[in-house]
Amino acid sequence: MEGHVIQGKLLVKRDEAENKTSGGIIIPSVVENKPNRGTVVVVGEPLKDRRREVEPGDHIFFADHTGTPINFDDKDLKIEGEHILLEQSQILYIKKQ
């Protein structure tokens, strides 16, 4: 996907919430916890004096209540679904692709 993200930020496709427990109990959508993990879609340039540590396609983990949730429904941009805009400093863990 082509696009630009503001310096120091990244756009992440949030993983889908689990709708069933390991024991098979179905979780209602009003109770579902949104996962704090996802796949990096677009990375802005790193902030001054920093190096880029994350690349598109990397799987990351981030803390609760961080970032700005964004819902896309734009087939022209080829972006759909729930995403989150994060500061690169809000990444807790990076799993390289």
pLDDT in tens, 48-97: 777 778 899 999 999 888 898 887 776 666 677 788 999 988 899 899 87
pLDDT at residue number 60: 94
* pLDDT band at 39; cut points 50, 70, 90: very high
d(CA 72, CA 37): 18
d(CA 82, CA 15): 9
CATH annotation of 9-95: 2.30.33.40
d(CA 38, CA 58): 8
pLDDT at residue number 46: 81
User: How much is the pTM?
Assistant: 0.74
